[in-house]
Amino acid sequence: MSKTNTLLIRTPEGVVFSQLLAGPVTRFLAWVLDFFCVLVVLMVVNIILSFAMVISMDMGVALLTLAFFVISIGYGIALEWWWRGQTLGKRVLRLRVVDAGGLRLHFHQIVLRNLLRFVDSLPFFYLVGGIACLVSRRAQRLGDLAANTVVIRIPRLVEPDLEQILAGKFNSLRAHPHLEARLRQRVSPAEAAAALQAITRRDEFEPVARLKLFSELSGHFRAKVEFPAEAVEGIADEQHVRNVVDVSYRPRAADKK
């Protein structure tokens, strides 16, 4: 089976949804953050228990030994249980542990994946876990394989701002309803999506690349349906693509009925 960066789940309703898997580097960074968190907690506990050592050295050392053990093992278990698959490091890097089958994460899965860190962390710096993560199909370390979990990236969920994306203003293509309808018929969903993506991400491109991209896209759409010269001449390629996206995704009011 080939390696994938996406967890695909097909529901009994026939719908497929995907979740982006986290890679070993991001996970390692999250672990480093968690490591420092544990370190800080241990330092605080150490300071608190040093007062107990004044009363009884034996009791203080015993409490310290137990606290170190419980915190270093329990940190991941407790936080992943309370924050539904997230530790502080995972939260910062927008990662989450989920069941590999898309089902609810159970406590015993969290316990198992955290206890198996004992093997994943061998011989040093999670070498075994890192290698397992690199070679496993779904970027799972041994603990994840045993507990049947994966670590996914949580996307930033924002609704698309249609007013910002689509033309919103005068659209010269709308002056020719029959050609507009033909364009909508000939443009495939994939082509429309590519144009929409180009508009959405226009500010991320270098100026030259931006001009070239919109020139190519505009040329492509101009060849699909030939509009009268007054409708397409005198407008920039980017505006033309914006008009095409507007026509594709926002049919005129009469069509909606």
Site for other proteins in 60-79 (CB under 8 A): 61-63, 65-66, 68-69, 73
CA–CA gap between residue 94 and residue 135 (Å, rounded): 23
**Farthest CA pair distance, the chain:** 93
Q: Is the dihedral of CA 85, 87, 88, 92 positive or negative?
A: negative
149 vs 218, beta carbon nearer other proteins: 149
Among 1, 54, 58, 178, binds other proteins (CB under 8 A): 58
d(CA 144, CA 135): 13
Q: Give CA–CA dist 247/251, Å, rounded.
A: 6
Instruction: From 17-25, 34-42, 204-212, 230-238, give the range in contact with other proteins by CB under 8 A.
Output: 17-25
Q: Which is nearer to other proteins, 57 or 236 (CB)?
A: 57
What is the CA angle 51-52-53, rounded to 5? Answer: 90
Interaction of residue 15 with other proteins, rule CB under 8 A: yes
Residues 144, 23, 139, 14, CA torsion sign: positive
SS3 56: coil
Which SS3 state, helix, strand or coil, does residue 152 take? strand
Out of 35, 36, 107, 125, the only residue in the binding site for other proteins (CB under 8 A) is 107
Q: Which stretch binds other proteins (CB under 8 A): 41-49, 56-64, 211-219, 235-243?
A: 56-64
Q: How far apart, in whole angstroms, are the C-alpha atoms of residue 183 and residue 232?
A: 13
- Residue numbers 156-185 binding other proteins by CB under 8 A: 157-160, 162, 166, 184
CB of 126 to other proteins, least distance (A): 13
Question: Which residues of this protein are in contact with other proteins, per CB under 8 A?
Answer: 9, 11-19, 57-59, 61-63, 65-66, 68-69, 73, 84, 98-109, 111-112, 115-119, 142, 145-148, 154-155, 157-160, 162, 166, 184, 187, 189-190, 192-193, 196-197, 200, 248-251, 256
